[in-house]
């Protein structure tokens, strides 16, 4: 992998990740852009104890542009985009409309391919491996920023999810705090360790592999399963069999096998609802340990960050053909999920639609 760093016309950082060591990235952003001005701030809710990012400048962000005006496509034929090069493998740049900025964090866009009409599932194994390397590199670099506590790599796919740009891409959020979901995991991990002397993530993986009814796919280094208490109609968790706290710690075997496992999962997701159905909308989310001392999280005192288990959660909001799972009163008002699809049935369906 070759990494090239440059700057866009307004000063934002742009990084190219190339599979070829001889790739040359010298194109210059020709757009007359003013320096970015953001109003992002983080406010803490005193009642719930969580944090809310307020970013009013995002109201003016690009919204469903036509394909020939896509800001994530390469710059070609006299049209200038966010990426000055005429082609690219993987490109990462600072978001022009960030939810988090400055001391409040950082937001980046990850373009998986220059092909506007592709999807992550359509990538080759080599391309998917390059995206994994980009995620890992960004995690390592953002971890070095003094105000960053946690790095979140994710992909929103589909208009139903709220995606406003059709080009295959994901995002990276670098938070200045430990997110509420991660804090819950840390508290559960600390309590389980105190009660049993064992690691919670290891026990979850061991249980799913032993029972087998919810296992969707298993390789030498990775296992994918529908969790026992899945929140979403079709939800899969992907774990490396050797527990590690973040992407930086994956070994060569896990890195080599990841594209094969992950691409197969995504392709199965697109076949869940049968032939002729539109692509399945989904969220794909990497869960990594926060940086520094996680013992400062209430309920996780004394816990080491290496007790956290890196994993990816992949889920769709479509519950059946033509119908979405809405977060209505119980889910939105009380955070109590009601799942219409038994996890065992979801796992069975995801095994049925395996590639031949």
pLDDT tens across 70-118, in order? 999 999 989 999 999 999 999 999 999 999 988 889 999 999 999 999 9
Which pLDDT score is estimated for 226? 98
Question: Each residue of 116-150: pLDDT tens digit?
Answer: 999 999 999 999 999 999 999 999 999 999 999 99
DSSP 237-263: EEEESS--SSGGG--HHHHHHHHHHHH
Domains identified in the chain, total number: 2
Q: Are both 199 and 338 inside the same structural domain? A: yes
Q: Are both 184 and 104 inside the same structural domain? A: no
Residue 339's CB is within 10 A of a number of other CB atoms, namely 16
Question: Each residue of 258-305: pLDDT tens digit?
Answer: 999 999 999 999 999 999 899 999 999 999 999 999 999 999 999 999
Q: Are both 266 and 326 inside the same structural domain? A: yes
Whether residue 169 lies in the annotated active site: yes
CA–CA distances in Å: residue 118 to residues 6, 113, 259: 26, 8, 16
Mean pLDDT of the chain: 95
Which residue, among 110, 144, 111, 135, has the nearest Cα to 288 in the 3D structure?
135
Residue 173's CB is within 10 A of a number of other CB atoms, namely 21
Reported confidence tier of residue 56, pLDDT bands at 50, 70, 90: confident
Q: Are both 247 and 146 inside the same structural domain? A: no
Reported confidence tier of residue 183, pLDDT bands at 50, 70, 90: very high
Per-residue b/e over 103-114, b at no fewer than 16 CB within 10 Å? ebbbbbbbbbbb
Q: Which domain holds residue 134?
A: 2-175
For residue 306, give the CATH number of its domain: 3.30.428.10
**Could you tell me if residue 11 is left (phi over 0), alpha (psi between -120 and 50 degrees) or otherwise beta?**
left
Q: Are both 143 and 197 inside the same structural domain? A: no
Which pLDDT score is estimated for 63? 65
- What DSSP state is assigned to residue 340? S
Q: Are both 159 and 280 inside the same structural domain? A: no
**Final residue before a domain boundary, out of 152, 175, 198:** 175
CA distance 313 to 283: 8
Question: Each residue of 294-353: pLDDT tens digit?
Answer: 999 999 999 999 999 999 999 999 999 999 999 999 999 999 999 999 999 999 999 999
Q: Are both 80 and 194 inside the same structural domain? A: no
Q: Are both 153 and 204 inside the same structural domain? A: no
Q: Are both 199 and 310 inside the same structural domain? A: yes
**Final residue before a domain boundary, out of 148, 175, 202:** 175
**Final residue before a domain boundary, out of 153, 175, 197:** 175
The one catalytic residue in 169, 221, 237, 311 is: 169
Predicted TM-score of the model (pTM): 0.96
Q: Where are the beta strands (DSSP E) in the chain?
A: 2-7, 13-18, 41-44, 51-54, 90-94, 106-111, 150-157, 169-175, 215-218, 222-225, 234-240, 282-287, 311-316, 318-320, 323-324
Which residues touch 290 (CB under 8 Å, ≥6 apart)? Answer: 149, 150, 178, 182, 186, 297, 305, 308
Q: Are both 132 and 206 inside the same structural domain? A: no
CA distance 291 to 108: 19
Q: Are both 97 and 245 inside the same structural domain? A: no
Q: Are both 19 and 80 inside the same structural domain? A: yes
Question: Each residue of 195-247: pLDDT tens digit?
Answer: 999 999 999 999 999 999 999 999 999 999 999 999 999 999 999 999 999 99
């Amino acid at each position: 992998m070759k990494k090239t760093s440059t700057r866009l016309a307004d000063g934002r950082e742009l990084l190219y990740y190339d599979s070829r060591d001889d790739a040359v990235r010298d194109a210059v952003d020709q757009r007359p852009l003013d320096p970015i001005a953001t109003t992002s701030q983080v406010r803490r809710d005193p009642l719930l104890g969580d944090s809310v990012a307020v970013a009013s400048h995002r109201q003016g962000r690009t919204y469903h542009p036509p394909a020939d005006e896509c800001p994530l496509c390469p710059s070609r034929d006299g049209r200038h985009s966010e990426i000055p090069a005429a082609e690219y493998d993987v490109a990462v740049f600072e978001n022009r409309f960030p939810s988090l900025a400055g001391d409040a964090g950082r937001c980046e866009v990850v373009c998986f391919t220059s092909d506007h009409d592709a999807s992550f599932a359509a990538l080759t194994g080599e391309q998917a491996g390059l995206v994994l390397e980009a995620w890992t590199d960004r995690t390592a670099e953002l971890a070095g920023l003094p105000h960053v506590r946690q790095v979140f790599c994710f992909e929103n796919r589909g208009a139903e999810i709220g995606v406003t740009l059709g080009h295959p891409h994901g995002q990276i959020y670098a938070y200045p705090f430990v997110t509420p979901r991660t804090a819950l995991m840390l508290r559960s991990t600390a309590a389980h360790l105190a009660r049993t002397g064992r690691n919670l993530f290891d026990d979850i993986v061991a249980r799913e592999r032993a029972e087998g009814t919810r296992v969707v796919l298993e390789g030498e280094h990775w296992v994918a399963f529908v969790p026992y208490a899945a929140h979403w109609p079709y939800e899969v968790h992907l774990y490396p069999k050797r527990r590690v706290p973040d992407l930086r710690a994956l070994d060569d075997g896990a890195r080599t096998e990841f594209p094969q496992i992950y691409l197969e999962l995504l392709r199965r997701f697109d076949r869940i609802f049968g032939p002729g159905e539109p692509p399945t909308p989904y969220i794909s989310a990497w869960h990594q340990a926060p940086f520094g001392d996680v013992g400062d999280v209430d309920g996780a005192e004394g816990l080491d960050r290496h007790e956290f288990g890196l994993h990816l959660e992949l889920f769709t909001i479509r519950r059946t053909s033509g119908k979405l799972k809405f977060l209505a009163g119980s889910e939105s008002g009380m955070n109590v999920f009601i799942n219409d699809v038994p996890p065992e049935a979801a796992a069975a369906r995801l095994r049925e639609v395996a590639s031949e």
